Amino acid sequence: MTDADAVSPGPVPDPAAMRKQYRAEGLSEAGLAATPLEQFARWFKDAAVEAHLFEPNAMVVSTADAEGRPGSRTVLLKHFDEQGFVFYTNYDSHKARDLAENPYVSLLFPWHPMARQVIVRGVARRTGRDETAAYFRTRPHGSQLGAWASAQSSVIATRADLDASYAELAARYPEGEQVPVPPHWGGFRVAPQSVEFWQGRLNRLHDRLRYVAEADGSWRVERLSP
């Protein structure tokens, strides 16, 4: 810590005094798409194209280890279709170790400016190496090197060590040179078991509609009390 870090930020806003009335129009059973993935596509488009949200593909991924100890972090959704929701990460990271012990996962899209959230619960499996490699090649050169340079979630001594590791890789693989896909890096596809669409309404009487997967592959929709 330097002296500058210790300077007081001044008066801090009181979170209990932050109160917004949600006014958005409701979400009805009749208006829902046949599958949660189609409904997600509609809301994702609203978030990206109409509301211009910053990184609407940012989602909070919650995992738990074999003892049920939870952990959450933000990652970016990179693909979705009827098979599920895909993100990429380091297979030695904390989240990936949790998923190796316990594949149950929750994804939360916090679209606050629209008074909406989507919560997916399901099972995560690694994507195939071909799919991972195809995505890795679309990443900018610097991000490809970053995936090699970082032993994600491990303790490191200094920032300089990380920068040195990156510089070494940048020298080995200059811009324009193909960077191999790191073996410890890849995707997870979350196959949904339930997907809840939450729309904020007046007086905290929000709409919550949840699709639940049936054994025959169809979806049941249920309304939850807010």
Ligand X SMILES: Cc1cc2nc3c(=O)[nH]c(=O)nc-3n(C[C@H](O)[C@H](O)[C@H](O)COP(=O)(O)O)c2cc1C
Query: Binding site residues, as ranges?
Result: 19-22, 73-78, 88-89, 95, 117, 135, 139, 143, 152-153, 198, 204-206, 208
Element (H, E) at 53: none
Burial (CB < 10 A; 0-12, 13-18, 19+), residue 111, is: buried
Is 220 a residue of the active site? no
Between 97 and 208, whose beta carbon lies closer to ligand X? 97
Catalogue the E-assigned strands of the chain. Answer: 58-64, 70-81, 84-90, 104-111, 116-126, 185-199, 207-213, 219-223
Q: Which of 204, 210, 220, 223 is catalytic?
A: 204
Query: How many whole angstroms separate alpha carbon 9 and alpha carbon 26?
Result: 39
Backbone CA torsion sign across 131, 47, 114, 28: negative
Q: Applying CB under 6 A, which of residues 24, 32, 64, 75 lies at the interface with ligand X?
A: 75
Q: Which of 185, 187, 198, 195 is closest to 82 using CA atoms?
A: 195
Considering only residues 95-114, where is the footprint of ligand X by CB under 6 A?
95
**Residue ranges of the binding site for FMN:** 73-78, 88-89, 95, 117, 152-153, 198, 208
The stretch among 1-9, 88-96, 116-124, 199-207 that binds ligand X (CB under 6 A) is 88-96
Interface map 48-67 toward ligand X (x if CB under 6 A):
-------x--x---------
The stretch among 14-22, 90-98, 127-135, 166-174 that binds ligand X (CB under 6 A) is 90-98
Query: How many whole angstroms separate alpha carbon 73 and alpha carbon 191?
Result: 19
Q: Applying CB under 6 A, which of residues 24, 64, 71, 146 lies at the interface with ligand X?
A: 71
Between 16 and 54, whose beta carbon lies closer to ligand X? 54
Q: Does 153 bind ligand X (CB under 6 A)?
A: yes
Least gap, CB of 94 to ligand X (angstroms): 3
Which single residue is written with the structure tokens 């709409």?
207
Query: How many whole angstroms separate alpha carbon 79 and alpha carbon 84?
Result: 8
Between 71 and 103, whose beta carbon lies closer to ligand X? 71
At 120, the amino acid letter reads: V
- Positions in the binding site for ligand X (CB under 6 A): 55, 58, 71, 73-76, 87-90, 93-95, 152-153
